[in-house]
């Protein structure tokens, strides 16, 4: 089965609304790493953390490795936040296993 599952697969928001993206993984992980990608664009690392919560700007990543889940919260969404958000399971810098992504669309 899929090792990393993300939900929802797609999400449409009005500008200013908050978003909560979920990531569940089926085997152990040292940390989760969140990436952002625009269509045709490169993967941009957003946040990477082991268990706990980490903030940067309007983004908050929460990881509970014992429960094999994580989430990415985007507050006060902006149109420029539109794109695909990918969660990846990371074991101490070894290979990443990616989820299928959440495609976010923020409308004016």
Binding site for other proteins (CB under 8 A): 30-31, 33, 35, 42-43, 45, 48, 50, 86, 88, 90, 92-98, 100-101
Q: Which residue's CB is nearer to other proteins, number 66 or number 94?
A: 94
Q: Which residue's CB is nearer to other proteins, number 67 or number 94?
A: 94
Where b means 16+ CB within 10 Å and e means fewer, 48-74 reads bbeeeebeeeebbbbbebeebebbbeb
Q: Which residue's CB is nearer to other proteins, number 60 or number 101?
A: 101
**86 within 8 A of 43, measured Cβ to Cβ:** yes
């Amino acid at each position: 089965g899929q090792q990393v599952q993300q939900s929802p697969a797609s999400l449409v928001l009005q500008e200013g609304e908050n978003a909560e993206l979920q990531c569940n993984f089926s085997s152990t992980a040292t940390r989760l790493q969140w990436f952002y990608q625009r269509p045709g664009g490169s993967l941009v690392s957003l946040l990477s953390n082991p268990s706990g919560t980490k903030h940067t700007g309007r983004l908050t990543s929460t990881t509970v490795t014992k429960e094999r889940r994580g989430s990415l919260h985007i507050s006060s969404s902006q149109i420029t936040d539109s794109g695909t958000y990918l969660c990846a399971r990371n074991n101490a810098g070894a290979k990443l296993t990616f989820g299928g992504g959440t495609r976010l669309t923020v409308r004016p």
